[in-house]
Structure 1
Amino acid sequence: MTTQPASRPAYEIPTHLGAAAHAALDADRAARDQLGRAMLVATAAAVRDILTGYEPDAPFDASAVELVEGEDGSLFPNGRYWTLAGEERTFTETVGAAEAGNGIHGMSEWTAYLNDSTRDVWYDLCTEQPDRDGRPAYRLDLLPAAALQLDESAPAPVRQRGQMVEVLVCANDSDRYPAMVDPDDQRDGYVKPWFDLDTVRRIAEQTQADAARYGHDSVDTVHVLEGGDCAVRHDGSTEPLKYAVVLVVCWMYLDGEKREQAVQVLQPNKDGRYAVGGHDWQWYALGGQLNPQIPFRP
């Protein structure tokens, strides 16, 4: 059989194939990145909802959640999470078995999209954990996950000079607290955090425990004195009033020339926050993976 040479092309390829293929790949990559960001934010929201009973403005304490990789490569929650202080807990311990089970089931609908196709997005926000039943496990940092920009095309908000931002801060490599800081108010890279009263109570408890363990000469202690009263309205009814006084005691000053500076009464700012320790305690901001940011650049 004689093979006849082709007299014309069997088919034609569009001249713009290369550009079209690259555009399609770029669009696919952008879509997967957008999906990963959205599912990470949804996961952070699901943890909040479990711990607050779906009250978005209610206080809650969570900094990370554990996700386990399934056989298909997607992640799913196993009910473990960590508080801002680094304490490991389970949703069942905190909210009960029924609420935890329903919440974990709902969260799984979002984490199922955290898989190989979106790994480039979620992996950098995770720390590898010991395997769980032979499956890879990861600790997802919820603070940067919740702060991800959902619309990449939207311009990032411009921070005004002196504007506060919310971060986790630490002064001893172990105890971490949420605070508002002014990135422009730093000393040698250390920030001046402003804490709400609930966080001040936590700091007070921890500093007093440290002083009892290591001695008052080496630890400044924080104390929250609270009281109440009743105000009489014009109609004769009463309104309960609550007061709080925050003290910082530097015990090493009591026997020296600085004894008059040994006790400091902290004044709250207009938002009711207290600058415990100021710059002197060398608070530093924590970034992704809870790494120190010295200096802090939001």
Structure 2
Amino acid sequence: MTDRKFIETRVCIDDDFGPFDCKLNPENRWNGWLSPYFTLDTTRELSAQTLRMADEYGYDCVSTIHVIDGFEDSRDTVHIIEGGLNRDSDDGEPNTIAVRIRWRNVGRDAVAAVSFSSATPKDRKAARRRKATGHGARRTVVVHVRWQWLHEGGDIPANVVPLSRDGLYGIGGWEWTWHFAGWWCACGADWDWHETTCTNCDLTRDTQPGKKPCDCGCDPEQGVTGEYDLESEASRAHLARTGRYLRWSESDAQPTL
């Protein structure tokens, strides 16, 4: 994954998923969408959000990410992942898959060390009986499950997300509609997260003034580029006092042509 074109930024999917810190190559795109890589801690946050969304919207329309922890000297284990109820079943049986992990092989090749199948009563018993305990180096397996394809026939629609040479996990690249998360400047300009300086007014992302109450009758809603007076002393004083520029309609100044 090491590439001089990689940048540190944040990504999201619409306003419902993320934002998450990541690294990515902005030129590596699928139909315009991004292919981000995440740290393990961020992957855990991402996993939790996928599970919350699946609980809210249904597993048949949400892919989920699962983080399974163990040790390099752990014995082989079976893990049961549940994905809501099977709507195609008359009995309303739960969607379940079994994940078999050979922990001693995870450090060499996590993808080859894991296998998937439909969960059986025997798998459930094995999952209850044996946990991933040990005293060796910690190992982690990240699993991506696409529940919407579970009953379409063929292989179990799940895979291991491999760890990159930089210790990151590439999740959803060339599949999910990742785009840059952004930030709004006080002047009304919006920027991608990694663009840290507003070239419109020279304020930076990390030095945005805090918004404070104002009784002058100004509009507190976020405006857009060109709507604000960035020039007059009165507007700049208003920015220092309230965290907001005055709109041209609120200012006595006239725009410079």
The TM-score, its normalising length taken from structure 2, stands at 0.45
TM-score w.r.t. length of structure 1: 0.39
Q: Which has the larger radius of gyration?
A: 1
Question: Larger RCO: Structure 1 or Structure 2 (Cα < 8 Å, ≥ 6 residues apart)?
Answer: 2
Relative to its length, the structure with more helix (as a share) is: 1
